[in-house]
């Protein structure tokens, strides 16, 4: 692919560098000159500078670049090693063969492993435009991937990044399909499993639409950005870690796919499976528990859909050499009391000290117990009790303090010393009743409006949960912020959001429809 289609059509231009990151190899050509050379928007050209060649996607302008100039953005400038005024050679490039494969899938035909590898390879090399990647994602959403295609996609995703090879066995891991506010089970499960003498190198994500991802929450306690070798040393010493996967270069192409999936709100099942299981395979996971929350307000609201997804996880995982068990849980309400990085940390630390929210404790013990049974550490049915014993003994808390210290944090941190915001707004029940529903999506939105996850100390502190009986004057929840302006913005958002249902009456408006608020 690194050769010009028509050598006689090459021409030379002076470089103009734009200090802009685009996420792709994009160059800007003078429109009039490009048309004369039969080059148009979204065409590919090869840029040559010395012995270096980079294939780039074309954009055009008569304002930003003059005749005989080429605008080079940050990624391409670094790869070419050019500076302003350098001369480069431009020539036509063949269009990516991946485009033909995307069209093939559009026609409903199954792709081979080689074709999928080519698509992912060209995506990583920035040879596919956002339009082409969006077309790929839309096609995979409409034309579901087969199990063979999903396995091939997972292997291709793994091949794009680094892999953690601990040369230790067994390697355990867990994942949650998401959608439940405050669901920080990872930060309880990891120290329990590590304290049991098993290896659990946990990579976690940051928030995209929620008030906090596990990496955001762990970052309150310690650094989460490590290279693969640093991660390995932490796991060798402490048997576990909780780090941000985006900093380790695992499954590199996944970030590109997420970038396309997010604005379109598309989650093709095959891509979802490949994204999750690719990261598990990248860390060498052999035994994995997948938590699939189901219920109103979570990502998956139908039990049958959850069962179908669980079956696919197990089938694909088996083909990849992983033993997977799926844990279908109640996802209709938030887990814990705090929603937001530091507030969720408080819940985790309390649970590890045998205090705190019982729902977070119990769910974490169920997942840890399933892992202990799945890998054969204990007989079937004995996992929960072993996990509970480890937690009760304080061994999990001591292990967590060791992991925090190894990741550069202060192991002496307590719930009372966490950096929680001081700006508060109480939401008060104005009638007696029973809580029917706490909406995950709306609670997350309110917490984000208050500043989470960027402001670690911001979020929502719940004072009630599903089934609780409340009396007029009780606090339903508090909005917590680090800045007054963000607190006001979050309070204002309540005018259009109804996060709590009380006795089937929607709670959430100031016009007397369920609760009133006070500072």
- DSSP designation for 4: B
Matching residue, tokens 């020539």? 91
Distance CA 355, CA 347 (A): 9
Confidence of residue 301 (pLDDT cuts 50, 70, 90): confident
Question: Environment class of residue 311 by beta-carbon count within 10 Å: exposed (0-12), middle (13-18) or buried (19+)?
Answer: exposed
Least confident of 8-12, 191-195, 346-350: 8-12
Q: Report the candidate in 423, 404, 406, 426 with the shortest Cα–Cα distance to residue 414.
A: 404
β-pair partners for 515: 429
Strand blocks (E) in 359-432: 423-429
**Predicted local distance difference test score (pLDDT) of residue 2:** 45
Residue 258 confidence (pLDDT) above 80: no
Higher pLDDT, 3 or 212: 212
φ and ψ at residue 413, rounded to 5 degrees: -65, 145
β-pair partners for 72: 17, 27
For residue 500 the two structure tokens come to 């709590």
- 267 is known as an active-site residue: yes
Distance CA 174, CA 166 (A): 17
Residue ranges matching CATH 3.90.1170.30 in the chain? 420-518
For residue 11 the two structure tokens come to 């021409």
Confidence of residue 504 (pLDDT cuts 50, 70, 90): low
DSSP character string of 221-234: TS-----HHHHHHH
Distance CA 187, CA 205 (A): 13
Mean pLDDT to the nearest integer, 30-34: 91
Give the domain 420-518 fold: Aldehyde Oxidoreductase; domain 3 (3.90.1170)
Secondary-structure percent of the chain, ordered helix, strand, coil, rounded to 5: 40, 20, 40
β-pair partners for 324: 288
Distance CA 182, CA 439 (A): 12
Residue 17 confidence (pLDDT) above 90: yes
> Sign of the CA dihedral 239, 244, 247, 248?
positive
Write down the mean pLDDT value for the chain: 90
Distance CA 237, CA 20 (A): 41
Residue ranges matching CATH 3.40.1030.10 in the chain? 172-246+267-406
Confidence of residue 510 (pLDDT cuts 50, 70, 90): very low
Asked if residue 443 lies in contact with residue 339, where contact means CB atoms within 8 angstroms, the answer is yes
Confidence of residue 364 (pLDDT cuts 50, 70, 90): very high
**Predicted local distance difference test score (pLDDT) of residue 6:** 45
Question: What would the pLDDT profile of 442-496 be if each residue is shown by its tens digit?
Answer: 999 999 999 999 999 999 999 999 999 999 999 999 999 999 999 999 999 999 8
Angle of helix 395-406 relative to helix 228-238, nearest 10 degrees, comes to 150
**Predicted local distance difference test score (pLDDT) of residue 4:** 53
Please identify, in words, the CATH class of the domain defined by 7-92: mainly beta
Residue ranges matching CATH 2.40.40.20 in the chain? 7-92
Distance CA 174, CA 287 (A): 8
Residue 389 confidence (pLDDT) above 60: yes
**Predicted local distance difference test score (pLDDT) of residue 516:** 39
φ and ψ at residue 326, rounded to 5 degrees: -105, 140
**Strand, helix or coil for residue 96:** coil
The one catalytic residue among 267, 330, 362, 468: 267
Distance CA 492, CA 490 (A): 5
pTM greater than 0.75 (yes/no): yes
Domain 172-246+267-406 listed as CATH 3.40.1030.10: yes
Residue 506 confidence (pLDDT) above 70: no
Mean pLDDT to the nearest integer, 178-182: 91
Confidence of residue 513 (pLDDT cuts 50, 70, 90): very low
Residue 5 confidence (pLDDT) above 80: no
Q: Report the candidate in 282, 248, 258, 3 with the shortest Cα–Cα distance to residue 123.
A: 258
């Amino acid at each position: 692919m690194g050769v010009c289609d028509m050598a006689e059509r090459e021409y030379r231009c002076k470089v103009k560098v734009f200090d802009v990151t685009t996420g792709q190899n994009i160059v800007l050509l003078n429109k009039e000159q490009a048309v004369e050379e039969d080059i148009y928007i979204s065409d590919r050209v090869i840029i040559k500078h010395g012995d270096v060649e980079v294939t780039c996607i074309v954009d055009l302008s008569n304002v930003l670049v003059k005749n005989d100039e080429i605008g080079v953005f940050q990624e391409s400038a670094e790869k070419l090693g050019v500076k302003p005024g350098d001369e480069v050679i431009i020539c036509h490039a063949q269009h990516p063969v991946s485009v033909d494969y995307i069209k093939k899938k559009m026609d409903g035909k199954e792709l081979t492993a080689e074709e999928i590898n080519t698509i992912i390879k060209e995506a990583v090399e920035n040879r596919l435009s956002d339009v082409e990647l969006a077309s790929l994602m839309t096609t995979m959403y409409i034309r579901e991937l087969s199990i063979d295609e999903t396995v091939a996609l997972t292997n291709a995703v793994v091949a794009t990044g680094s892999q953690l090879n601990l040369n230790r066995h067994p390697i355990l891991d867990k994942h949650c399909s998401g959608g439940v506010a405050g669901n920080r089970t990872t930060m309880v499960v990891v120290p329990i499993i590590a304290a049991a003498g098993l290896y659990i190198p946990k990579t976690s994500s940051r928030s995209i639409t929620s008030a906090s991802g596990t990496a955001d929450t762990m970052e309150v306690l310690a650094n989460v950005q490590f290279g693969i070798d640093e991660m390995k040393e932490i796991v060798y010493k402490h048997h576990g870690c909780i780090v941000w996967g985006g900093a380790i270069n695992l499954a590199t192409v996944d970030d590109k796919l997420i970038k396309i999936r997010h604005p379109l709100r598309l989650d093709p099942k095959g891509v979802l499976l490949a994204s999750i299981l690719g990261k598990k395979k990248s860390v060498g996971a052999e035994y994995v528990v997948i938590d699939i929350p189901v219920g109103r307000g979570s990502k998956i609201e139908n039990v049958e859909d959850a069962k179908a997804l669980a079956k696919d996880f197990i089938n694909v995982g088996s083909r990849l050499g992983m033993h997977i068990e799926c844990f279908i849980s109640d996802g209709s309400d938030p887990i814990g009391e705090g929603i937001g990085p530091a507030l969720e940390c408080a819940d985790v630390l309390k649970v590890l000290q045998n205090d705190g929210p019982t729902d977070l404790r119990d769910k974490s013990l169920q997942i840890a117990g399933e892992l202990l049974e799945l890998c054969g550490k204990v007989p079937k049915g004995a996992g929960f009790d072993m996990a509970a014993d480890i937690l009760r003994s304080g061994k999990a808390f001591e292990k967590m303090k060791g992991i925090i210290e190894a990741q550069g944090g202060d192991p002496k941190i307590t719930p009372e010393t966490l950096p929680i915001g001081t700006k508060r707004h109480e939401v008060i029940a104005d009638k007696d009743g029973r809580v029917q529903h706490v909406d995950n999506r709306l609670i997350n939105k309110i917490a984000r409006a208050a500043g989470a996850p960027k402001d670690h100390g911001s979020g929502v502190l719940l004072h009630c949960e599903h089934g609780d009986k409340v009396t007029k004057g009780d606090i339903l929840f508090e909005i917590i912020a680090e800045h007054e302006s963000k607190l006001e913005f979050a309070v204002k958002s309540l005018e259009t959001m109804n996060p709590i249902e009380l006795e089937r009456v929607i709670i959430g408006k100031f016009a007397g429809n369920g609760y009133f608020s006070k500072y």
